[in-house]
Chain A
C-alpha cells in the first residue's frame, strides 16, 4: 500500500491542490479543469488495490489482460512562477456502505497525500468540495473557505466571494466537512501543513441529484486562481453550466407548485440586505428544507 512515482520533478515549495468526487462533483470539476487548462503532467499515483475494488476487467481470447481500478494520481505544473501539484482521485475510499471516505483507509490515503506534500516540501494545501446551502440555482454560489490555521483567516478575508464559517448566517462559526476533504485538512494540520478547504455552494434541493454543479465549480476556481495569481479562461465551465442549468430547470418545473413557490423565495436572498418580497426568516428556511426533504422522500418512494 503506497505511492508510486514515475518521475521526481524538481519543484520549489509547491502548492498542493487535491480533489475527489463528491456532491455535485464541485471540487473535482474545478480542480480537474485547472489541471487540464494548465496542461499538468502526471508523475505518480497512490497504488489503488488496497483502497478500492476493481471496476473493470478486460478478457481477450480467454486471457485476463487488464484489471482497472479507480485512479488516484499526482500531476505537476509550473504556472505564474509557482509550482503546483495536483492530486485527483476518481473515488473516495469507503468502508462498508458509506458514501464518503471515513475510517482507517481514508485516514491512510490522506496520510499518503500528505507524504507527497512532505516529500516535495509543499507550502500550502487546498482541497475542494461542496457546501449544501439554502440558495437558489439561479444565484452565483459563494465559496465557503475553512482554513486549518488561524494565520490563514486574514488571507481568506481578502478572497472575493469567499466566506468564513463565521460569515455564514446561522452557523455560529461551526460546521463539519465530511469525507476526504475534511480528513485531509485535519491530517495536514496534524502534520504541520497549512491547508484551506474551498467549498462551492449547491442548492439544498439539488444535493441528491445525479448532476454536476459547474456553477459552483466556477466559483471555487475563481477563488483558487485568484489566490494562486493564475489567469485561466473559464468559458468551458460556463458552457457546461448552461447545459446543466437547462436540466436543472426541467427538474425544477417538476417540483410541486407549493414547494416551488417556497424555493422561489430563495431567488431573493442576498447576503447584504434583503430585497423583493422580504427576508426569509429562520422558520421559513426550516419549512423550505422540510418541504424539500418530504418531496424527495415521496419521489424516492414512488420510483
Chain B
C-alpha cells in the first residue's frame, strides 16, 4: 500500500483471486447503494476496512435524509467464500485521484483483486415498462472479449460534451487501467421519474449479471417481489390519474414530454409512491 494513504484495516480478509464490486451512494435510483447493500445482505459481507473521511469530504455538518442524519461512508466488505469484495461509498468531494488510488490499494494489496466492477446509473427518458439494458465500458480489449457471452451492450461511443466533466467511474476505470487491473463500468438507464426513488428492475439487471459472472448464485425471489410491487403501484397510479397514464403512454410510444410535463410526472409519481409506502 502506498505510504500515508488514509486507510483503516480492521481485519485481513482471506482472499486469493477476488473481484471488487463498487457502488456510490447518491446516484440515480440510489442504484449503487441498493446493489451493494443487497450483495452484503444476501452474501453476508463482513466489513473489514474503510477509508478515512477527512481528506476527501467537506465534513461541514450532516445532511438529513428521510428524517435521519447522514454522514459520508467509505467501507469495504468481504464475502470470503465467494472471493468477492464490496466497496460502498459516498463520492468524494475532493482529492479524487488519491481517494480512487486508496480503493485500489486495498483491492490489490489486501484482497488480491483481479477484476473491478463499477456500478453506475444514468437517467433515461424512457418508460418503466421498457426492459432495462446493461451498458458496459471496459478498460481493456481482453475484458471486453471475456464479456461477450453476457447480455450486455458493449459498443458505446462517447466523448465528454463541452461544459461537462467525465464521471468518477471513468476516472477510476482509467486509474485501474494504469495499474493493470481489468475493469468494467456498468451503466443502467433508469426512468427519470424513478431516479429520485428506487428502481428494483435496474437493481436486478446489475445483480443478475454480477451473479452470473462471479458465480454468486443469488436467489432473486425477494427482488422479484419488489419489482412486482412497484409495477402494481405504478399501474395503480396510471389508473387513478389519467395525466400520469397519458405521460407514460407517450413515453411508451417513444414520444418526448415537455420539460414541464417531465417535472409534473416526476412530482406525481414520487408523491404517489411515497403515499403508497
Chain A window 217-253, contacts with chain B (Cβ cutoff 8 Å), 1 for yes, 0 for no: 0000000000000000000000000000000000000
Query: Which residues of B, 77-136, contact A by the 8 Å Cβ criterion?
Result: 94, 96-98, 136
Q: Contact at A57–B138, with CB atoms within 8 Å?
A: no
Give Cα A56 to B158, complex, Å.
10
A67 on the interface (CB 8 Å rule)? yes
Give Cα A157 to B139, complex, Å.
57
The number of residues on chain B lying at the interface, defined by a beta carbon within 8 Å of a beta carbon of chain A, is 29
Given known contacts A53-B96, A54-B174, A67-B166, is B158 in contact with A59 (CB within 8 Å)? yes
Q: Contact at B138–A50, with CB atoms within 8 Å?
A: no
Q: Given A49, A53, A59, which contacts B165 in the complex, CB threshold below 8 Å?
A: A53
Give Cα A62 to B144, complex, Å.
8
Query: Which residues of B, 137-184, contact A by the 8 Å Cβ criterion?
Result: 137-141, 144, 154-160, 165-167, 170-171, 173-175, 177
Q: For residue B104, give the distance in angstroms from its CB to the closest CB of chain A.
A: 13
Q: Given A49, A58, A96, which contacts B159 in the complex, CB threshold below 8 Å?
A: A58
Q: Contact at A67–B158, with CB atoms within 8 Å?
A: no
Give Cα A62 to B177, complex, Å.
14
Q: Contact at A56–B160, with CB atoms within 8 Å?
A: yes
Q: Contact at B97–A59, with CB atoms within 8 Å?
A: no
Task: Tell me which residues across on chain B come within 8 A of A60, comparing CB atoms.
Answer: 157
Q: Contact at B137–A54, with CB atoms within 8 Å?
A: no
A258 on the interface (CB 8 Å rule)? no
Q: Contact at B173–A55, with CB atoms within 8 Å?
A: no
Supply 17 further A-B pairs (C-beta < 8 A) apart from A57-B174, A63-B138.
A49-B97, A50-B98, A53-B96, A54-B171, A55-B160, A57-B159, A57-B170, A58-B159, A60-B157, A62-B137, A62-B156, A63-B140, A64-B170, A64-B173, A64-B177, A67-B166, A96-B58
A-B CB contact pairs (8 Å), 18 listed = A49-B97, A50-B97, A50-B98, A53-B165, A55-B160, A56-B160, A56-B166, A57-B174, A58-B159, A59-B137, A59-B157, A59-B170, A60-B157, A62-B137, A62-B156, A63-B141, A64-B139, A67-B171
